[in-house]
Amino acid sequence: MRQIILDTETTGLNPRTGDRIIEIGCVELLNRRLTGNNLHFYVNPERDSDPGALAVHGLTTEFLSDKPKFAEVANEILDFIAGADLIIHNAPFDIGFLDAELGLLGKPGLLKHCGEVIDTLVQAKQMFPGKRNSLDALCDRFGISNAHRTLHGALLDSELLAEVYLAMTRGQESLVIDMSSATETAGEVSTPRVKFDTLSLPVIAASVDELSAHEALLDGLDKAVKGTSVWRTQPMPAEDFAETTQNT
């Protein structure tokens, strides 16, 4: 299973008013393992960033002026994500910007090039309703160090989000990835199977004291209901009871 954690930085908040992508970072997961095969571009947006956005990412117009335009890296991005599931925090934001950039190039929207889109913000809100679910908050919650994150960066945020996603969904791998005897072949994970009919399972019978305590409890129930409790409607045959007490 191939998954791509994706993040973008932009000149502002709204592609409909001309804001553009200035950075894109993609981190590859293969069968829930980081491969190190990542993709990262700074992009020349051909415009200035809004002051608020600049304070978040710190990527100045001067720094981006000699970087490739989106049209120059679009095909490489699409080839990298082709057919993979995308993992994005607040997916509508990033998808909206990517769709706008692709639209300017006359290309189909992002969802035509990838598999499923997993929004970790939606997942986090379901797991932690009423709590802060920003990337920083989730890093704190799962004990993932983001001390080196003074400004937002697409590649760094993708790497952090990969760790957060794996932590959020760790229950999915507990029976597969974490098993030391699991083997991977041709992209698939196989696990050993156990034949239960070959197992010798111990049968632990109740002791005499435990059986006496049980009878005393039933006596109390009979007294409480002024009759025979439901637990004595089908009492154990005397011979079975005797055999049980002899074997303990």
Tokens of 3: 């998954």
End-to-end CA distance of the chain: 53
- CA separation, residue 240 to residues 217, 236, 246 (Å): 20, 7, 10
* Strands 183-185 and 33-34, bridge-based pairing: unpaired
The residues that are catalytic are: 152
As a whole number of angstroms, the distance between CA 162 and CA 27 comes to 7
Phi/psi of residue 4, each to 5°?
-120, 120
Phi/psi of residue 195, each to 5°?
-90, 110
- CA separation, residue 9 to residues 13, 103, 152, 238 (Å): 10, 18, 8, 78
Number of H helices, E strands in the chain: 9, 8
As a whole number of angstroms, the distance between CA 6 and CA 28 comes to 9
